[in-house]
Amino acid sequence: MTNISYYYPVEGKRFLDEVQDEAYARSPLHGDAWVEMDSRIPVLSIPNEVQTMSSFHTSSSKSEDSMPLSGIWRMKGSEPADHGDPAPATGWFGRKAKPSEGMRDRWYDPDHDRSDWLEVKVPTTVQQALVDLELMADPHWNTNTFDELEQNGTPQETPLWFRRTRVECREWWFATAFEVPETWEGRRLSLTFDGIDYSGTVFLNGVSLGHHQGMFGGPVHDITELVQWNEVNVLVVRIDPAPQSWNGLMKPSPGFGWHYGHLISLGIWKDVWVTVQPDIALLDPYLVTMSCTSDEALLQLEFTTESSLTERTSLTIEGLICLKTEKSSRDDWRNPTSAVQSTADERGSRVDTGFICSIEVPRGRSKFSTVFKLSRPNLWWPSGYGEQPIYELILRSASGSCEHKGAPDIDGLSRESAPESLPGSVGGYADTKPVNVSEIRTSFAIRTVEMRPMTEAVPETDYRWQFVINGESMFIKGANWCWPDVMLTQKEGQIERLLELARRGHVQMLRAWGGGLVESDEFYDLCDQKGIMVYQEFPLCWGPPDAPVTDLGVIDRQTALSVKRLRNHPSLIMWGGGNENGAHGGADEGLFLVGKRCREFDPSRPFHRTDPWGGSVHNWNVYHGGEPLEEAVVAMPSVFYGEFGIPSQTNISSCLRYMPEEALSSFPPTEESRGWKAHFHQFSLKDVIKVMRYASYGPIQSWEDYIIYSQTAQGDAIRLVADLQRAGTGKDKSGFWYYKFTDCFPGHSWAVIDYYGTAKLSYYRAKQASRPQNAFITAGKLEGWLAGEVFRADLHLVNDSRETLSNVTVRVTMFSSQLTELMTWNYPGLTVSPGRVYPIASLEKLLPEASAIQPFLAAVTLHSEDGRRLSDHWYWYNAQPKTAELLAFEQEHRHHSNEYPDHEAAHAFMLYGELPNAPMRELPSTTLEWYVQSADKGEKGRTGGTIVIHNSGMVPAIRVIIHHFPDDWSCYLDDNDFGLLPGEQRHIAYESGFEIRLDKLSVSAWNAPEVTLRTQP
């Protein structure tokens, strides 16, 4: 589809998109001969006849021609091969190399005795299987990870977290047995692995099928000649020991020891299949929306045929497009009677549309393309902008009979229409005979993606950063996504839980971070349904070396498989080459190859070489650099913020899931606090100390203090950058991805949703900052305001929607330390166009005496014409009571000096623990009353209701927090950590499972005592 592009040229200017596209087109670089050949197959354009189809006969479902081999397997560890010292070693010098135990004793033989092998359930990783069998200590719990690395990790001379565990140093062998259905005899069969982590060798009935590397698909083997009919077939997989480094591999990197809990996953982590192969396979359907109006969408379809027949074959291909029903799922293709039901759209017209085209199929692989129209399309929109209708394409041969021809007949590709007798038979052809042709299905949606340059974009240097979906310019409010488990274990409902929290948290786009995974079909299906856009980076982190250190063949194959698997998902908006791959250490051959393949196999989407690059930034002068929050952000303006944030500690309820209760009574941590250190993201006390710089709202003397203050600081940091970026909506800013949304290991980290799927307070602050329609202020600093100084802040109103925001009212009230009103600004009757920001005013106020501004606060509210609250924010200034000694200490510890050996760590903890007061918690007090309104029974095993909270005092309630809301995955709370004006009442919606009780709930504010639950009056 070389005629598809995501951008329109700008006369006289070229941006980084064009520069790189031209470089990819000229490049001779390739890694894998098969992928290179596939990319060069010419695409033959074919006409078609569009029809409205009242019925569509489907071929056999996939369940009849595929057999899953997932389930109970046997597993055993083996001593790895000894490469000798020095390696490679021979009998002529050094120590002679030795084969692995499994290869020496021929564990791959069908008759090998496996009675002592472990019983495990595939898909799995080795580590998860061993934990399930209680043969390995749970690496999530307390000191278990450190114990293993200290006692058994190798090599001992390396730092603890860079050693390899016993599991990671061994080979692991998996085996299963299967019988092939008699009805398949005489057919071609393939053996397909959806994911081996990371490399290994496959044996069938004692014969090696070859070695494979890469965890995102493959290998696929033709096993027709090796299968035994009416006998048991023995499949054995040898998994190699863990790689020594992630660098240059498409493999999640944190578990290698630089970040989070140490664990390098190994195993058969996705499904395994035996499949009947047709004579002619239809493969790799790719649908792109060329253009779209309310009346008609123009779609282009590309697909591949693979024929095992020696003769050129004439085929008539039928395609059916239907709008999926609400109840359909990604597995509907297994039940053809439910998958192809005709559906009426809300306008009353049928949505089943079909087309027919005729093609000539030679032996081997061929590619075809056709264009067709879809009347009255239902557009897919990102969350907050509209609905997410999903279509299904079914593509198959119109008949089981096809004409065979001897000589090629290219003219046959340009027939004006299909034979009149279709559908049902291939009329008009002679000499036909039965041929097996596959049927393929894919989901897709009608939507367009365009990238436009920002007004100040630098030609040749900057990417186009303005995201335009269906013609609507959008400011992106997003977050970085980290895969859910370092052991690659996916619990039922886990992805649904996390993505639903993202949707409810106004996360429009997730950056599938380049330290993690190329995400799963389930992830993308759910993002499609929820309207969450995705920027998918490939797992290449921090400058992969050039070839031959980086195996370009593996990268090439893995890229091609991944792009073809995911390119029909409407939620996938952009590809990326990886995380923080600066112009250093080589890095460009692998990334360049990924970009070349993405643009060849999916030209409808942008590709960014890496992030940050071409106009985006990652701001780690905050936290790592130790610079003041507002100074660091203002000093690093960017059209797009790719990473920013501050880590925080998990809630008490989550801490108790990975640490013993007695550990919570000991604060601060020391170098001997091995359990805590194992759950810090860099295994060091510096992780906590660096956060305290931004979280010193009062003396930090317990884990309870640190948890609430660190989560407060995390939320404040996200909101500050979000506000500054949104102030430039439609002008010089296009979005952000805060770092980050989820976690792969339990513990202290940047995630706002922890490993267990529990929301921190920072999640709610990020949600508030990302409301589609929002009023907010931006000020030059947070701390250091003095009596007699003029407080200045800019007031903004933003409308991230497709509808005009009309006749709304914005109100700003400043409060003193005594919570008396210092100033009120009121702006009624405001109107903002879609996708725009309205700079309402520059606010100024002469600050009174010092005693009135330690701290002072500002409340910003936005109300609709009918009085509904659309957004509110509470800002606090001079809220951190740092001593002169502490400020001097922080000034000394910045950037390379922002590290804390043992004696300096103790001194830091003392300084933060001896802060003189907690001004935000010493404000004039108020009282809260609250109750739970009767819940209504809903669908999907859930109930719903509201928590009604009333500020019955005479001053504002600051930081109203609902405590002990259940962590169960069925439970969702609409808001938390907010302010209430005197006399104000707030209804907070919630959902929970039928069996979940709310009797442990309590509510407090920083200036109101905690109140337990009472019934509705």
So what's the pLDDT on residue 326? Answer: 47
Mean of per-residue pLDDT scores for the chain:
90
Distance CA 840, CA 782 (A): 21
Helix (H) or strand (E) holding 237: strand 233-239
Q: Does residue 185 have a pLDDT over 50?
A: yes
Q: Does residue 56 have a pLDDT over 70?
A: no
Residue with the two structure tokens 């200045």: 792
pLDDT band at residue 94 using 50, 70 and 90 as cut-offs: low
Rounded to an integer, the average pLDDT of 168-177 is: 98
Q: Does residue 333 have a pLDDT over 70?
A: no
Distance CA 768, CA 776 (A): 10
- Show the DSSP H helices in 792-865 as ranges: none
So what's the pLDDT on residue 280? Answer: 94
So what's the pLDDT on residue 399? Answer: 55
Strand partners, 511: 480, 535
pLDDT band at residue 940 using 50, 70 and 90 as cut-offs: low
Token pair in block for residue 461: 């240097």
Q: Does residue 12 have a pLDDT over 80?
A: yes
Per-residue pLDDT tens over the stretch 146-170: 999 999 999 999 999 999 999 999 9
pLDDT band at residue 270 using 50, 70 and 90 as cut-offs: very high
pLDDT band at residue 346 using 50, 70 and 90 as cut-offs: very low
Token pair in block for residue 395: 């593509």
Asked if 195 and 269 touch (Cβ cutoff 8 Å), the reply is yes
**Helices and strands of the chain, counted as H and E runs:** 20, 51
Burial class (CB in 10 A: 0-12, 13-18, 19+), 864: middle
Of 52-56, 88-92, 633-637, the range with the highest mean pLDDT is 633-637
pLDDT band at residue 917 using 50, 70 and 90 as cut-offs: very high
So what's the pLDDT on residue 348? Answer: 38
Q: Does residue 96 have a pLDDT over 80?
A: no
Instruction: Tell which residue, 915, 788, 805, 951, has the closest CA to residue 868.
Output: 805
Token pair in block for residue 142: 């307390």
So what's the pLDDT on residue 517? Answer: 96
Tell me which amino acid residue 401 is.
S
So what's the pLDDT on residue 29? Answer: 87
Token pair in block for residue 363: 């032996």
- Cβ atoms within 10 A of the Cβ of 638, count? 23
Burial class (CB in 10 A: 0-12, 13-18, 19+), 40: exposed
Per mean pLDDT, which range of 56-60, 209-213, 270-274, 596-600 is the poorest?
56-60
Asked if 532 and 572 touch (Cβ cutoff 8 Å), the reply is no
So what's the pLDDT on residue 167? Answer: 97
Q: Does residue 421 have a pLDDT over 90?
A: no
pLDDT band at residue 931 using 50, 70 and 90 as cut-offs: very high
- Scored b (16 or more CB within 10 A) or e, 737-771 reads bbbbbbbbbbbbbbbbbbbbbbbbbbbbbbbbbbb
Rounded to an integer, the average pLDDT of 353-377 is: 93
So what's the pLDDT on residue 325? Answer: 61
Per-residue pLDDT tens over the stretch 739-766: 999 999 999 999 999 999 999 999 999 9
- Strands of the sheet containing 272-277, edge to edge, are 66-68, 272-277, 188-193, 220-222
Rounded to an integer, the average pLDDT of 845-850 is: 98
Rounded to an integer, the average pLDDT of 415-420 is: 33
Expressed in angstroms, the distance from the first to the final Cα of the chain is: 65
Helix, strand, coil content of the chain in percent (nearest 5): 20, 30, 45
pLDDT band at residue 259 using 50, 70 and 90 as cut-offs: confident
Instruction: Tell which residue, 724, 923, 928, 917, has the closest CA to residue 815.
Output: 923
Q: Does residue 77 have a pLDDT over 70?
A: yes
Residue with the two structure tokens 């337990």: 1012
Which of left, alpha, beta for 257 (phi over 0: left; psi -120 to 50: alpha)? left
Q: What is the CA radius of gyration of the chain?
A: 30
Q: Does residue 662 have a pLDDT over 50?
A: yes
Asked if 877 and 783 touch (Cβ cutoff 8 Å), the reply is yes
Per-residue pLDDT tens over the stretch 892-908: 999 999 999 888 999 99
Asked if 578 and 555 touch (Cβ cutoff 8 Å), the reply is no
So what's the pLDDT on residue 415? Answer: 30
Contact residues for 25 (Cβ-Cβ < 8 A; gap 6+):
none
Tell me which amino acid residue 95 is.
R
Percent of the chain with pLDDT over 70: 90
Strands (E), 746-789: 773-779
Per-residue pLDDT tens over the stretch 273-293: 999 999 999 999 999 999 999
Instruction: Tell which residue, 602, 556, 607, 554, has the closest CA to residue 578.
Output: 607
Phi then psi for residue 206, to 5 deg, are 85, 0
Q: Does residue 337 have a pLDDT over 50?
A: no
Rounded to an integer, the average pLDDT of 963-984 is: 97
So what's the pLDDT on residue 745? Answer: 95
So what's the pLDDT on residue 397? Answer: 86
Rounded to an integer, the average pLDDT of 468-492 is: 95
Q: Does residue 681 have a pLDDT over 80?
A: yes
Contact residues for 517 (Cβ-Cβ < 8 A; gap 6+):
216, 252, 483, 539
Q: Does residue 853 have a pLDDT over 60?
A: yes
So what's the pLDDT on residue 2? Answer: 63
